[in-house]
Amino acid sequence: MLRRYFIAALLCSCLLPTSVAFALSSAQLEHLAQHPTWLKLLHYGDSRQSEILTEDFFLSPDGQHDPQAELRADLAAYNAPWPKDGDSHARCRFPARYYWLSQQISLPGYNLTPPQCPTFARWSLPDKVQSISLFLVSGYLGNPASVFGHSLLKLNTGAQDDQAGMFDLTVSYGALVPPDEPVWRYILRGLGGGYEAGFSDRYFYTQDLVYSRTEFRDIWDYELRLSDTQRTLLILHLWEVLGKKFTYYFLDKNCAFRLSELLELVIDEPLLTNARFWYVPTETFHRLEDIDQARKAVGQPGLIKAVRFIPSAQRKLYHQFSLLKPEEQAATQAVMQQGPTALPDQLAHLKQDRQAEVLDTLLAYSNYRLTAEQPTPSAATKAAKNRFLPARFLLPPSTEPLKEVPALDSPAQGNRPMLTSIGFGHEEQRGSYLRLHGAAFVQEALGRNGLEDNELAVFDAAVSIGDTFFLDQLDLIRIRTIKTDFITADGENPWSWQLRTGLAQDADDYDAFFAFGAGRAWKISPQLTAYAMTDAAAHSVEPYLRLRPHLGLLAGNGNLKGRLLAGIETTDYQGNAQPFVSAELQWGFAAQTSLFIGIEQAESANVSAELKWFW
């Protein structure tokens, strides 16, 4: 079908003496075919072949590996007769190609949105899209592909009747995974390119429902400063790639890579400078911040027009609950735990205006639970809302608007995700040694990042060089989730937890281990967090099973942070234990450089200092 369409278009171009296909010299065709923008429009990679697998993305049979053949086919198809189904014409299917070509050469009768392309015209919202945003979505441990975050594009219309932009279009990229695919198979196939992937479009309210209201993930909205020409070219190209298939690679050619690739079509500065073996969403946003600062440094308008924090539904609820007075919080939690029958007794001792605040919080909680329980919310949750709503209508409206959730800094305004460090250590048994430390991905509790007191590290390794060369530490993955904001109610998880697996030096041997712990945490002040946990661990050296109860204290804010840790670890199966204590301090004295000092006392004393670079 495509071959017949190509031949018909080429014959048509031969019959038209004004055809642009024959108005260009070979040198001009070669120049256009090798132009960086043309190659980006065709998604040619380093291998000089398009990374798009879908055949109908190309008009020429050789278009996937010959950009000039595709250029000739596109120019020929421009003059092809309009079919009865106008949407199938090349000018409707590939508007970005012709838009760009119209700026390079003369295209007779060119129209940005031909009237014969009704489907494209409806989708592209001509003259309605005012700006484009790139969203950074926080990580989600429930999905391996989302542990490091996610990114998507949003077309902002600024409609007066939709200030939140819920009906604006978003475009995201993801693997096409069969339903109920086991996690282990997803990881293995994702690492090896075993899935196809593609771009899809949805209204923002569907994304908000998933990310904010179901998975409880925060979002940072980076509104970009693009010219009209840049914005138009990007929107037109989004239409071209929707539904087209790529090969998906979990580590590098993922959602962050593909969306950065799209933005490189219209942004002069490269975005994928760090895309080698590993690429995570925050790297794109770090690069946007770099470009923004570089432009401003030379007196140009920045690339980033605004950064807006969109808190998750859970964060909004917890913030609303935190604004209540202690007796109001107690009344609210009593109703959550006992059900709406406890409402009259719990409200009786409160003033009318405070009753309204409690009911507003209970309604917010009901909506939060109804969404979290989808697709089949419980009858109890629905009945509770039906009881709270008429009670609230009996009270006057609140006179003051609800205070906004304090904005969290974007992860891209903190440390970059990869780490290299050099330092020294001294241990009583080994003496002094040089320590080299690196991580493929790390967001430290002591670093500058958007994880608050949490921590996530992958392939975090350190080697030491002294009298001997030895592997000091290898954490395949390390996760710590500190939860200080929660509501004591059914369905709410109050537990903090941590997981760590890897390899550690143990006397003259190496110890492979897997540890998991849980406990509780308390926010004593904005700069001070305390937690108590107990780890249960399996080891490859005796004792093979160990318990490790401990207390932790995290302190500091901004550039200077510290951590104190004290506890015991069992040394046999008779209840004997070894006490341990450690203190760590990290000072971020430059944007991506920190000084770390650590002291630990267990079987022996250990002192270390490192100079860290994040990149």
- The per-residue pLDDT for range 16-37, each reduced to its tens digit, is 333 444 478 899 999 999 999 9
> Which whole number is the average pLDDT over 274-303?
93
> Which whole number is the average pLDDT over 305-310?
97
What is the DSSP code string of 328-384? HHHHHHHHHHH-GGGHHHHHTTS-HHHHHHHHHHHHHHHHHHHHHTTTS--HHHHHH
Cis status of the peptide bond prior to 543, with omega within 30 of 0: yes
In a shared domain, residues 467 and 530: yes
> Which of 244, 279, 310 is the last residue before a domain boundary?
310
Distances (CA, A) of 369 to 208, 378, 460, 553: 15, 9, 37, 32
> Which whole number is the average pLDDT over 502-531?
92
Residue 403, in any domain of the structure: no
Residue 405, in any domain of the structure: no
In a shared domain, residues 176 and 251: yes
> Which whole number is the average pLDDT over 325-345?
93
How many residues in total does the chain contain? 615
Residues 212-263 have pLDDT tens digits of 998 999 999 999 999 999 999 999 999 999 999 999 998 889 999 999 999 9
In a shared domain, residues 445 and 383: no
Q: How confident is the model at residue 5 (pLDDT cuts 50, 70, 90)?
A: very low
Is residue 200 within 8 A of residue 171, CB to CB? The reply is: yes
Residue 409, in any domain of the structure: no
In a shared domain, residues 504 and 528: yes
Residue 291, in any domain of the structure: yes
pLDDT, position 429: 80
Tokens 């593609």 locate to 198
Instruction: Tell me if residue 40 falls in helix, strand or coil.
Output: helix
The total number of structural domains that make up the chain: 4
Residues 99-153 have pLDDT tens digits of 999 999 999 999 999 999 999 999 988 789 999 999 999 988 877 778 889 999 9
In a shared domain, residues 91 and 218: no
Residues 486-499 have pLDDT tens digits of 888 766 788 999 99
Range of the domain at 68: 2-121
Is residue 501 within 8 A of residue 518, CB to CB? The reply is: no
> Which whole number is the average pLDDT over 554-579?
94
Burial class (CB in 10 A: 0-12, 13-18, 19+), 606: middle
pTM of the model: 0.90
Cis status of the peptide bond prior to 375, with omega within 30 of 0: yes
Residues 414-444 have pLDDT tens digits of 999 999 999 999 988 888 999 999 999 999 9
Write phi, then psi, for 173 (nearest 5 degrees). -125, 135
> Which whole number is the average pLDDT over 155-178?
91
Distances (CA, A) of 558 to 445, 453, 527, 587: 11, 12, 10, 9
In a shared domain, residues 364 and 449: no
In a shared domain, residues 355 and 455: no
Burial class (CB in 10 A: 0-12, 13-18, 19+), 610: buried
CA 231/CA 237 separation, integer angstroms: 10
Residue 467, in any domain of the structure: yes
Instruction: Tell me if residue 170 falls in helix, strand or coil.
Output: strand
Residues 353-378 have pLDDT tens digits of 999 999 999 999 999 999 888 889 99
